[in-house]
Structure 1
Amino acid sequence: MSKLCIIPARGGSKRIPRKNIRDFWGKPIIAYSIEAALQSGLFDKVMVSTDDEEIAGVSVKYGAEVPFMRSASTADDFATTADVLAEVLKKYENEGISFEYACCCYATAPFTTAQRLAEGFNKLITENADSVFPISAFSYPIFRSFKRSDDGRVGMIWPENLNKRSQDFPEAFHDAGQWYWFVVDRFLKSGQLFTNNSIGLEISTLEVQDIDNEHDWHLAELKYGYLQSIK
């Protein structure tokens, strides 16, 4: 069962410049994903897909491979994660190297652990899933959410839920945005990471933090520090 870890890390991050190699608790944030993948012992190769020489150098320093640089077409603001993964897998195929399973680990996911990666792979195999990824529950019932017009006025998206009790709504989850295990041949055929045969691995909200701005970054550091203090 050959397995590949792909860590996408382009150089052109806009909202947080040089985000993928910015210091997070004493080391570049990408190092956490690389180290979790290596420590899991699950992968034949742990590689970083980047268009940036500095990111490539940092990645190699922490133990990842950078066998080729990312193309310009998958390094712009419009390329999807699926585009990047397909490019990597096809480049390996062109070199006569194929993989049965792969895992996309985001570069800015310091809460990723070897244990969670192992749990995800186990679900992928035992449940015969197309893909497995971590999910976390919304803290507020999304079925009572509001939309806002240009003039600031708000209205319920589902007004029929106005008088329903919170406990009467089904629990809703969001993608934790950390990693995605998938079966390679199924992904290459569909081009999709999410299918009707995908499975979510529920994790605590303490293990999840989107990092899109400075406020998010500091929240992530606070959460990470707290998790380290209670180990």
Structure 2
Amino acid sequence: MKILGIIPARGGSKGLKRKNILPLGEKPLLQYTCESARNSKLLTKVILSSDDEEIIEVAKGLGLEVPFKRPDNLAQDTTTSLEVVKHALQYFKDKGESFDAVCLLQPTTPFRESELIDKAIQKFISDSPDSLVSVREVPHEYNPHWIFEEKEGRLSIATGEKEIITRRQELPKAYFRDGAIYLTKTSMILNQNSLYGKNIGFIDTTDSPYVNIDTPSDWEKAESILNTMK
């Protein structure tokens, strides 16, 4: 299976300015994802998608392929990951190159290992879902079956059930996306205009170090994790 790895890194981050190239430990943040992607044995090609010249130069210095500069209209706060992926696929289509799937790897989750990428791809190939995402288990106290919604001053169970599940042991597992890996069939992206589809596979990363960096406090957490990994 031909899989295009895309590392999206725009220049206009708001929560933490210039975060993609800020030094985390002894490396720019972007380098962590660059290294894990390049060490993957199952990604066919890995590229950077960015609108920012400085980020592009840093990426090239790391040996990352940068086939194009992303247009400004695809580097806004409102730009979706789907739009970024479709732009990259169209670029390669115009060059006569196609891929069976896309693997989106966000620099803001720096502690994802190349082994995890390959494990996710292997599961994606063997199970053949529309997409596969990396997830982490939701702590039981935040399980959606124990979450309430407010409507007109009254609470109701968020899942729509009339009776709450009383025992923790009876709660079904629930997960949230951790942002580390998104794998999607190209046909789903181009024909269904979706990064997910209806048949979504997953890989559980609950036991691995995790942060998704958006704010200064997230950055502090990343530095703390990095210190424990030395």
TM-score, normalised to structure 1, is 0.89
Moved more, 5-14 or 159-168: 159-168
Moved more, 95-104 or 205-214: 205-214
Q: Which residue does the alignment assign to 1:71?
A: 71
Q: Distance in 2 between matches of 1:186 and 1:163?
A: 36
Is the 8 Å Cα contact of residues 137 and 205 (structure 1) preserved in structure 2? no
> How many aligned residue pairs are there?
225
CA shift, 1:129, in A, is 1.6
Is the 8 Å Cα contact of residues 184 and 196 (structure 2) preserved in structure 1? no
Is the 8 Å Cα contact of residues 7 and 105 (structure 1) preserved in structure 2? yes
CA shift, 1:13, in A, is 0.2
Report 1:52-201 matches (<5 A): 52-139=52-139, 140=141, 141-146=143-148, 155=155, 157-158=157-158, 160=162, 164-201=166-203
CA shift, 1:206, in A, is 4.2
Q: Secondary structure at the match of 1:47?
A: strand
Is the 8 Å Cα contact of residues 29 and 109 (structure 1) preserved in structure 2? no
Q: Distance in 2 between matches of 1:132 and 1:177?
A: 11
Q: Secondary structure at the match of 2:123?
A: helix
Report 1:2-17 matches (<5 A): 2-17=2-17
Q: Distance in 1 between matches of 2:169 and 2:197?
A: 28
CA shift, 1:207, in A, is 2.6
Matched-pair identity in %: 31
Q: Distance in 1 between matches of 2:113 and 2:226?
A: 12
Q: Distance in 2 between matches of 1:189 and 1:115?
A: 30
Is the 8 Å Cα contact of residues 188 and 195 (structure 2) preserved in structure 1? no
**Unmatched 5+ stretches in structure 2:** none
The structure-2 alpha-carbon separation of the partners of 1:31 and 1:148, relative to structure 1 and needing over 3 Å to count, comes to farther
CA shift, 1:143, in A, is 2.3
The structure-2 alpha-carbon separation of the partners of 1:66 and 1:154, relative to structure 1 and needing over 3 Å to count, comes to farther
**Unmatched 5+ stretches in structure 1:** none
